Structure 1
Amino acid sequence: MINKVTLVGRLGADPEIRTLSNGAMVAKFSLATSENYKDRAGEWQEDTQWHDVILWRNLAERAQQYLRKGSLVYLDGKLTHRKWQDKEGNPRKTTEVVASYFRLLDGKRDGDDSGSNPAPAETGAPASPGANKTDGDDLPF
């Protein structure tokens, strides 16, 4: 069985960073992916989907350092579902992508829109041994 998600999209806001009581860092952000298509009338339409993304520990630290609102990011991870209760005690369900790897694609860093100050190309820990492609491999698409 496989649970794998691959997304390329733009951050809707700067990552929210928290440090838990056990010292683990977690980052959360929304990622927008868009698809363009022609409708029945022949007009181009854009369908944008928003994905909640979670990064843990060293990935969260790197997200804090390099990711900003509008950053173009490639990421791999897995789809997860959580059940929880809101403040009023109502049951809620959340679907999230827990990322195991990300790569900054547009080179923006610290508000620099020129791309002249690129972040490291590869950022993340492999989900399995030998899966980290730090040798300059191209994206798998």
Structure 2
Amino acid sequence: MSDHITLVGNVVGDPEERATRGGDPIAAFRLAVSERRFDRERGQWVDGHTNYYAVSVFGELGRNTLASLHKGERVIVAGRLRLREWETDVKRGVSADVAADAIGHDLRWGASTFRRTARSAAAADADSSNSSANDIAPGGDAWAVPGEAPADPRDDGATVAVAAAHESPALVEVGDTTPF
């Protein structure tokens, strides 16, 4: 059994690349989550107890994690929590492991830049086998609006024509912006 959990904390060390038995990549890192509270008597913020989580990230998300995260960065991790009991000759304990479903930088502490990665041919083939030809808009993008595909607004100097749902069409100039 696993529980869904969202954690906000600091990456303890640079993510390490590991592999499954089948050779698929895994990114693994430890996450420190500290309680921080305001002490009214002292009039200042104080750190409380710190919990440590072992985070495993699989597949394409794992590859992106290896390229994006570094020691000390503040991140938000959403995934499945699994408590694992362990024992050695000297002691025994419980480890909190998280299989991540989503990871992102905590933007309260800094700015981040998003860069879309190229999809692998295997991922594209898997997606196309799971959907019918009627589900995919012209241009091959399953998320595109049917009709003519607009220019990528992230390209320098791109102009995207937007047909308003009302009577007259309008042109909207889009500069160097990210749609997210």
| Band of TM-score, shorter chain | 0.5 to 0.7
- Residue-by-residue CA offset, 1:84-138 (whole Å, 9 max, x unaligned): 666x6x87643211111111235xxxxxxx95x72449xxxxxxxxxxxxx74xx
Distance apart, 1:52 and its partner CA: 1.6
- Specify the alignment match of 1:30 in structure 2: 30
Q: Deviations over 1:49-96 (max 9, x none)?
A: 22221111112111111111112211211111335666x6x8764321
Larger CA deviation: 52-61 vs 90-99: 90-99
Greater relative contact order structure (CA < 8 Å, 6+ sep): 1
The aligned counterpart of 2:12 is 12
Report the Cα distance in structure 2 between the residues aligned to 1:74 and 1:38, rounded to whole angstroms: 22
CA distance in 2, matches of 1:81, 1:37: 26
Percent identity for Structure 1 against Structure 2: 28
Tell me if the contact between 1:104 and 1:119 (Cα under 8 Å) persists in the aligned partners: no
Q: Counterpart of 1:81?
A: 83
Question: TM-score scaled by structure 1?
Answer: 0.62
Q: Return 5+ residue gaps in structure 2 as ranges.
A: 117-178
Distance across 1 between alignment mates of 2:35 and 2:17? 29
Q: What residue in structure 1 maps to residue 95 of structure 2?
A: 94
TM-score (norm: length of structure 2): 0.51
Question: Match of 1:105?
Answer: 106
Distance 1:73 1:38, change over 3 A: closer
| Whole-Å separation in 1 of the counterparts to 2:36 and 2:92 | 35
Larger radius of gyration: 2
- Any idea what SS the aligned residue of 1:4 has? strand
**Aligned pairs, how many?**
114
Contact 2:53/2:95 (<8 A) preserved: no
Q: CA RMSD in A?
A: 3.2
Normalized per residue, the structure richer in helix is 2
Unaligned runs of 5+ in 1: 107-113, 122-134, 137-141
Q: Identify the residue that residue 45 of structure 1 maps to in structure 2.
A: 46
